[in-house]
Amino acid sequence: MAILVIDSTKKGLSLNFKELYQYRDLFLTLTYRDLRVRYAQTLLGFLWALLQPLATLLIFTLIFGTALEVDTGGIPYPVFALCGMSAWTYFAFVMSNAGNSIIGAQGMIKKIYFPRLIIPLSKACVGLVDYLIVSLFLVFVFIIYGTVPSSNIIFLPIFILLTVVSALSIGIWLSALTVRFRDFQHLVPFMVQFGIYVTPIAFPSEMIISRLPQWLSAFYYLNPMAGVVEGIRWSLLGGSFLHPFTFISFFIVLVMFISGLFYFRKVEKTMADIV
User: For residues 156 and 53, which has the higher predicted lDDT (pLDDT)?
Assistant: 156
Question: pLDDT tier at 201 (50, 70, 90 boundaries)?
Answer: very high
Q: Is the dihedral of CA 186, 187, 188, 193 positive or negative?
A: positive
List, for residues 140-169, the tens digit of each pLDDT value.
999 999 999 999 999 999 999 999 999 999
157, 81 contact by CB (below 8 A): no
Backbone angles phi, psi at 69, to 5 degrees: 50, 60
Q: What is the pLDDT, as a whole number, of residue 103? A: 81
Model-wide pTM > 0.85 = yes
Q: What is the pLDDT, as a whole number, of residue 14? A: 61
Question: pLDDT tier at 254 (50, 70, 90 boundaries)?
Answer: very high
Q: Taking 90 as the threshold, does the pLDDT of residue 252 lie above it?
A: yes
Averaged over 253-258, what is the pLDDT? 94
User: For residues 43 and 137, which has the higher predicted lDDT (pLDDT)?
Assistant: 137
Residue 183: is it exposed, middle or buried by C-beta count within 10 angstroms (0-12/13-18/19+)? exposed
Averaged over 225-249, what is the pLDDT? 91
